[in-house]
Amino acid sequence: MEMFPPFEAHASGFLPVGDGHDLYWEVSGNPDGPAAVFVHGGPGAGTAPTYRRFFDPSFWRIVLFDQRGSGRSRPHASVEANTTAHLVADLEMLRHHLGVERWLLFGGSWGSTLALAYGEAYPERCTGFIMRGIFLFRPAEVEWFMTGMGRFFPEAHRRFVTFLPEAERDQPLEAYLRRLNHPDPVIHMPAARTWCGYEEACARLLPRDEGGESDGPSSLALARIEAHYMAHGGFLRPNQLLDELGRIRHLPAIIVQGRYDMVCPPNSADDLARAWGACDLRIVADAGHSAMEPGTRAGLVDAAERMKMRIRR
């Protein structure tokens, strides 16, 4: 299925959530329809208008927001008071602010992590889940990102590691974290561009190019906040998301997973689907990690369409 044609938000604003953070939010689609909230990835990636288009605007009340430090939220690229517990509380505060009783959680990659964490904290506020590129923040998943992807993208991993002085290459996460948190842009921006370039190079079945850096205003937020969360185990207890799955197992869930997702390999999606039981896991045979690859994009639109029949207005 194709994405819906572009459409505009009809409301937007900033929500103060404490600790000096203001979250950008917007609402589009049917003001009286069932609510669906898009939970972006990264952490630190932010949202974009294109993400509205996964949803039928005549049916859904579509909520997009930028998590702490991400996108248009303020302050930019901040890791102060930025943990999973903070983000879960922010989601619940946003739900109250918008007057939403219950909503569908739609998230990919880190967005799947946060959607699950929120759902397990507030199961009574969820109607269901659509997820992509499952990331459960287990140590092996973080280790795969830091080193394992290099088995398939050795050139990208070599650029990622050799950016660092040779003496620091055995502990790349700690070395990048120091640079990304350095106050001087001369230090933190090259590290951010190289970190994001590594992830970008591994994110698609067919890589866009051979470049080693990713530039743009979102690079620092994505790299700094991702490294911050990885260094702290996602601010989750070991195996927390699978251990607490019983709180949401009764809710409908659809997973759309790229077979060749090198950032979040399919075994995590399989583990989650088997633990869930009634979860509908759809493997896209010709896709990597990106939500915008044709097969994954179509699968997500179809999932939102099928969810219309599985939730109550």
Active site residue 261: yes
41 C-beta neighbours (distance < 10 Å), count? 27
How far apart are the C-alpha atoms of 122 and 233, rounded to whole Å?
22
Beta bridge partner(s), residue 90: none
CA angle 233/75/114 to nearest 5° reads 35
User: Which of the following is catalytic: 21, 86, 157, 289?
Assistant: 289
How far apart are the C-alpha atoms of 205 and 261, rounded to whole Å?
7
Active site residue 289: yes
Q: Closest Cα to residue 250, out of 137, 131, 119?
A: 119
Write out the DSSP string of 7-69: --EEEEEEEEEETTEEEEEEEEE-TTSPEEEEE--TTTT---GGGGGGS-TTT-EEEEEPPTT
Strand ranges of the sheet holding 126-132, from the earlier edge strand across to the other edge? 9-18, 21-29, 61-65, 35-39, 103-108, 126-132, 253-258, 280-284
Q: Closest Cα to residue 67, out of 254, 197, 235, 213?
A: 235
User: Which of the following is catalytic: 66, 219, 261, 290?
Assistant: 261
User: Which of the following is catalytic: 28, 73, 78, 109?
Assistant: 109
How far apart are the C-alpha atoms of 161 and 171, rounded to whole Å?
10
How far apart are the C-alpha atoms of 49 and 9, rounded to whole Å?
9
Q: Report, as residue numbers or ranges, the catalytic residues.
A: 109, 261, 289
